[in-house]
A and B are shown apart, each in its own frame.
Chain A
């Protein structure tokens, strides 16, 4: 990037000015979705709409940027390229992404979209401004987020770790992110996104547009593990060309109101899509996962496993839609969703939604809602393990299946520890 910072901002404005202007207009005409919308039936947005928020650029005027200690939020022993957003603003000084392999572009979108037309072209390609109020606003406020472009045949040497840290103490920040990923043929990357809230709980709206070329491979972890009382509305859209593979791990054990939309469409044969999800809602929290795999072409496979624990007055929604279109013969689609309810007030709305229009396919789904097994509990207690500890062991074992599916082995133990701690504080 040869442009100085000030010119960069100007060119950025020019590049997307009409998109942004249009989005601003659309946004004001779109109300927040309500429970009368089928897609938001079980997810009232009161916790979000009732907030008075401030966007990061306004915050900067009142706050002197301070340097938080981010070390404790990184995974020990994980060697990664690092991008840090602090209270919704990119922190170049805390990030580490200069020594990338040849053929890799990585950085905040403001920095990378100017020179990288592949990334610039992704903005608005998969996510349309007018879909709803969130997409419109996310576009109207287009500024923050990362772009990753990996050229043909390049395999990233290390994972990319994106840390979103919020430590603002007084104001409720509304932070929008637009993240863009383009992997070319035979490219491979691993992306870890982690949310850490230590201050006032923000409203976060991350949106991803991900385009995977033939035979490329992306593993994408979304760690919603320290969101505190945040509201998070996320949208991830993925398009896959032939022989590509996309694995998404969404681990959610924090947040007051979390809605994740995760959608993949297959454009070429032999794609593989994996979704692994874990949700833990207690107190009055609500976690809603809406997933979609769109099998539009033949010979693709999808494998989805979501597990959840709901306690207290918590509420979870799982809406897993698998679309197998008429042309998508020889599709293999597998889905399972299991939820444990602890106590009489916990709720889950589980809705597997298989729409199959092809006849030569293998599709299966299973959904269970249950409780901690009494026999197992007694077995543990009869060996001297207290009821509390025994329950925790069983819950951890149940949820652990999802953690074990994370392919980066070095993350599993810290994730177990974090979940274990969380399970000790169920309310």
Chain B
């Protein structure tokens, strides 16, 4: 589904991604862990198409298409979704209007008819309930005045509404209380199927107790320095990153 080969990216002359290789297949859950500043959010931004990064080498192939040539909205319509580490507040744009526009723009891209108003509202209700998002928040502007946890739930709510093929969750667990964490994880688990995939960026094993990954990668200084199965996350939780970093440097 997603193949990243030799991806190098810089921002303002500073190289941040120094050759990323990653293969994600349908039905898989991958976790990326790594110290602060290692490039995790940069990787997700580059995949989603954020401006301001200069990709100097490599490719991002998603379902056979080169994503680097597409605009962010085209990548979204192809099925890539990024749950932001820091969701922005957009005053004046209501959640409902925002989501309806997003769904219809994606449908238009794929040559589908706009969603019916009644069906849309029904879906809104169902998905909001699924992630435990209070209905009154739907009437408010996007993320405006939302608590940290509500913002994160809103990301997962959007994920549920847009039903992408690949969802990248950038530290969706940070700042969540236990209940919210479980709600988010339950949401993700309900959405999982053999056709979609998840890339979960996190600092904590805790989330991975709920969303069990097939692969765990360690990103350090712009490179994936180790990959393993879910036990790698447990090991990291116990011992920290130093041993992995040292093993890489001596290797």
CB atoms of A383 and B98 under 8 A apart = yes
CB atoms of B93 and A394 under 8 A apart = yes
CB atoms of B73 and A385 under 8 A apart = yes
Q: How far is the CA of A82 from the CA of B77 in the complex (A)?
A: 49
Q: Is A398 an interface residue (CB 8 A)?
A: yes
Q: Is B64 an interface residue (CB 8 A)?
A: no
Stretch at the interface among A94-102, A238-246, A254-262, A371-379: A371-379
CB atoms of A396 and B162 under 8 A apart = no
Q: Is A10 an interface residue (CB 8 A)?
A: no
Q: Is A401 an interface residue (CB 8 A)?
A: yes
Q: How far is the CA of A382 from the CA of B98 in the complex (A)?
A: 12
CB distance from A328 to the nearest CB of B (A): 33
Q: A394-B93, A397-B92 are in contact. Are A378 and B51 (CB under 8 A)?
A: yes
Q: A374-B51, A389-B101, A393-B101 are in contact. Are A383 and B76 (CB under 8 A)?
A: yes
CB distance from A413 to the nearest CB of B (A): 13
Q: Is B105 an interface residue (CB 8 A)?
A: yes
Closest to B90 in A: A376
CB atoms of B101 and A385 under 8 A apart = yes
| B109 touches which of A380, A384, A397, A398 (Cβ 8 Å) | A384
Q: How far is the CA of A382 from the CA of B50 in the complex (A)?
A: 8
Q: Which of A380-412 contact B (CB under 8 A)?
A: 380-387, 389-390, 393-394, 396-398, 400-401
Stretch at the interface among B8-16, B80-88, B201-209, B219-227: B80-88
CB distance from A379 to the nearest CB of B (A): 5
| B77 touches which of A373, A384, A400 (Cβ 8 Å) | A384
Q: Is B130 an interface residue (CB 8 A)?
A: no
Please, which residues of chain B bring their CB within 8 A of the CB of A378? 50-51, 72
Please, which residues of chain A bring their CB within 8 A of the CB of B50? 378, 382
Size category of the binding interface on chain B: 20 to 34
Q: A378-B50, A397-B93 are in contact. Are A387 and B71 (CB under 8 A)?
A: yes
CB atoms of A384 and B162 under 8 A apart = yes
Q: A376-B88, A378-B51, A378-B72 are in contact. Are A384 and B93 (CB under 8 A)?
A: no
The total of chain A residues at the interface (CB under 8 A) is 23
Please, which residues of chain B bring their CB within 8 A of the CB of A384? 73, 76-77, 102-103, 105-106, 109, 162
CB atoms of A379 and B88 under 8 A apart = yes
Closest to B80 in A: A382
CB distance from B158 to the nearest CB of A (A): 7
Q: How far is the CA of A396 from the CA of B109 in the complex (A)?
A: 23
Please, which residues of chain A bring their CB within 8 A of the CB of B88? 373, 375-376, 379
Q: Is B48 an interface residue (CB 8 A)?
A: yes
CB atoms of B102 and A400 under 8 A apart = no
What string of 1s and 0s marks CB contacts (under 8 Å) between B142-174 and chain A? 100000000000000010001000000000000
Closest to A379 in B: B88
Closest to A401 in B: B92
Q: Is B34 an interface residue (CB 8 A)?
A: no
| A387 touches which of B73, B82, B99, B109 (Cβ 8 Å) | B73
